[in-house]
Amino acid sequence: MKISGYIAKIFVLTLACFSLAGRAQNHSTTLVFPTKSHAPIRKATGTHLFFAVGTKTTVSNPQGTALAKLKVLDDPDAEDDDDELSVYGVNAGNNEIIYNTSLINIEIYRKLPESPGSLSHPRGITANRGGDVYVADMGHQRVVHLFNERGKQLQFRKALKPDAPDFYPFDVALAEDGRVFVSDSAGSRIWRWNPRTEDWTVLIESTDTPLGLTIYDREDKWTRYRQSQLGIITEDGKKVLITDLNGRKLCGYTPTEKNTRFRYIAADYYNNYYMTDTRNGRIVKIDRTGYFVDTIGEEGKDDYQFERPQGIAIWKRFGQVCIAESYAAQYYLIGTDILKPEITYENNQIVLDFDLTERADITLTVQPPYSAKEDTLLNHTRRNQGKFEYRWQPGTMKTGEYLFTIEAVPTYSSTKYFTATRKIRWTYQPNVTEPSAHEDTHE
């Protein structure tokens, strides 16, 4: 095998395959890296792209990204290929789309400036299993409809544009019935295009500088809840608006940090929203009611760090996550984390509280004072994301230190390889009003 072909294969495998090995963590594990044995390159840089495609292109201002499992490439009788996805990335500086056609091949969609299918300052992108791809072609003030023919080549289909001179599309989202939702950053509107009638409708008027948007469609097979929603970044990245598919406001989210600047947004199987915060180099997660869940990552170049993160896409079935940043792309699986564990003592009961950042199977054990034996209080019990409380009343309270171990196993693909673990030591002293507790480890 040629070296260039081998590296190209690794690069695309990073885009298409995900597995995870558990290890000690000193950061949020709401998103976790795949193991190196399955994805040797977790952060694909311009150097990796060069080895994959040579001098055909360079990384230049990455923007939106999209994931899809194409029906034409899906063998219904095999499960091994179910997590092998088509990945589309907008390389805006070169007015092109970078995408894979297999586990070993990368292609580039780029047209001459005067051709009908050319792009100019493209931003968001969306795709479905049928092969449809829509791109926010901001420089040309239109949405471009492409089609992935047999999963091998992107072809231009048509250009879409409403009758609005100030139409500058930033992002696009595709519903299961083919309707396309578009954020118009300059016009401060959210549009909806109907493929059956080819009509444009203003869904939301006077939405201050909308940027990224995503759809959670109840008709999608890989959705947990039966309420469809749109997640929209508004006010030039300062807020998130959540509406139904008719534009009616359901809730919203305003970060406490005033310097937050969200850019793109994606939804997972459980209708949580993940926003890229370009200014602070992180990902922020909220739930479908607009409640803050977790912050993932920080500014930097190391693992679990981001440099101006831009586009984000999630394949809901397996919890595969693709994040584009300034000069790289990173790949994760959705995991889970245990936050703010606390132990109190009231009414002769030990009360354990913590926040769970993703639905998981919980195992809780306790090792009483002067005992080498662990008692199992919960065994692989599924609990929803959010606040968790467990009350335990021992037969006899013993003076001394109790060791509680919490294990949370996520429900996505990472379930076989990753477990979030917290150990908390709690000391009971009968004459002390509030016995002491401290966290021992975070794994």
pLDDT-based confidence at 47, cuts 50/70/90?
A: low
Are residues 273 and 265 in contact, defined by beta-carbon separation less than 8 angstroms? yes
Total number of domains in the chain: 2
Q: b/e map of 13-47 (b: 16 or more CB within 10 Å)? A: bbbbbbbbebeebebbbbbbbbbeeebebbbbbee
Residue after which a domain boundary falls, among 334, 368, 396? 334
Q: Cα–Cα distance between 70 and 89 in angstroms, integer?
A: 16
Residue partners of 204: CB distance under 8 A and separation at least 6: 189, 190, 232, 243, 247
Q: Cα–Cα distance between 411 and 361 in angstroms, integer?
A: 7
Q: Cα–Cα distance between 155 and 146 in angstroms, integer?
A: 5
Q: Cα–Cα distance between 60 and 66 in angstroms, integer?
A: 17
User: CA angle at residue 169 from 59 to 98, to 5 degrees?
Assistant: 25
Residue after which a domain boundary falls, among 287, 303, 334? 334
- Residues 54, 124, single domain; the answer is yes
What pLDDT score was predicted for residue 37?
62
Global pTM value = 0.90
Q: What is the arithmetic mean of pLDDT over 246-257?
A: 96
Residue after which a domain boundary falls, among 293, 317, 334? 334
Residues in a beta bridge with 234: 239
Q: What is the pLDDT of residues 346-367, one digit of tens each?
A: 888 999 999 999 999 999 999 9
- Residues 431, 289, single domain; the answer is no
- Residues 287, 381, single domain; the answer is no
- Residues 306, 345, single domain; the answer is no
pLDDT-based confidence at 17, cuts 50/70/90?
A: very low
Q: Would the pLDDT of 10 be above 70?
A: no
What's the CATH code of the domain at 400?
2.60.40.10
Q: What is the arithmetic mean of pLDDT over 134-162?
A: 96
Q: Cα–Cα distance between 188 and 304 in angstroms, integer?
A: 34
Percent over 90 (pLDDT), the chain: 71
Q: Could you tell me the residue range of the domain that residue 424 belongs to?
A: 338-442
- Residues 327, 352, single domain; the answer is no
Map residue 6 onto helix, strand or coil.
helix
Q: Which helix (H) or strand (E) holds 4?
A: helix 3-16
- Residues 115, 246, single domain; the answer is yes
- Residues 238, 120, single domain; the answer is yes
Average predicted confidence (pLDDT) for the chain: 88
What pLDDT score was predicted for residue 8?
41
What's the CATH code of the domain at 75?
2.120.10.30
Q: Would the pLDDT of 13 be above 60?
A: no
